[in-house]
Amino acid sequence: MPGDLGLAISFYLLAAITLVSALMVVSLRNIFHAGLFLVLTFVGVAGLYLTLNAAFIAAVQVLVYGGAIAVLMLFAIFLTRNAMTQGNLPGRFRFPAMAMASIIFVVFGYVFLMTRWAPGSAGQVYIAPDQVSGVLLTEFVFPFEMASVLLLAAMIGAIVLARTPAEEETKA
């Protein structure tokens, strides 16, 4: 089936792009370059969502991660500027961290490969974007409203935390 073959090829390509750029994110010394690879990782994950027929999530991923969060990260890099010239010195926990991550990967991979997934795993479900919004605004309407309260709290919290002390004095 040519459709399945194309899907498989694009999946492996996107998975390779995502994982390689994720490795770059955690290993590059220059934090600015790591931030650029982070954007590539987000776009790769959005492509993976497209191979899963989750078009709405893919669009949200590009908008929120590829747009907003990536810009926030680059802002963070530039606002904490001397960290950029200093680069990313190797931490003390480098080898324990590598061991820990390898153990997690091996355990998760073993569990995922050994699990007998539910019988439905042979078939695939297509979920249209309007179904997502329908469920979001009926069954999950309370969490949906809570999410907006959470975003408001995060916004106010961010403003309070980032406010300069000088502004406080001029106001008082």
Partner 1 sequence: MIYPALNHYMLVSAALFAVGLYGVLSRRNAVGVLMSIELLLNSVNIALVAMSRYLGQNGAASGQVFAIFVITVAAGEASVALALLIAVYRSHGGVDVESVNSLQG
Q: Which of residues 68-127 bind partner 1 (CB under 8 A)?
A: 68-69, 72-73, 75-77, 79-80, 82-83, 86, 88-94, 96-98, 100-102, 104-105, 108-109, 112-113, 117-118, 120-122, 124-125, 127
Q: Quick check: 164 binds partner 1 (CB under 8 A)?
A: yes
Interaction between residue 43 and partner 1 (CB under 8 A): no
Residue choice 40, 47, 57, 66 for contact with partner 1 (CB under 8 A): 57
36: nearest Cα among 48, 44, 47, 25: 25
Whole-number minimum distance, CB 172 to partner 1, in Å?
A: 19
* 54 φ/ψ angles, rounded to the nearest 5 degrees: -105, 75
Residue 57's nearest CA partner among 71, 47, 67, 68 is: 47
Q: Given CA atoms 23, 25, 30, 32 in this order, what sign does their dihedral have? A: positive
**C-beta separation of 77 from 83 below 8 A:** yes
Minimum Å distance from CB 127 to partner 1? Answer: 5
Q: How far is the CB of 106 from partner 1 (least distance, A)?
A: 9
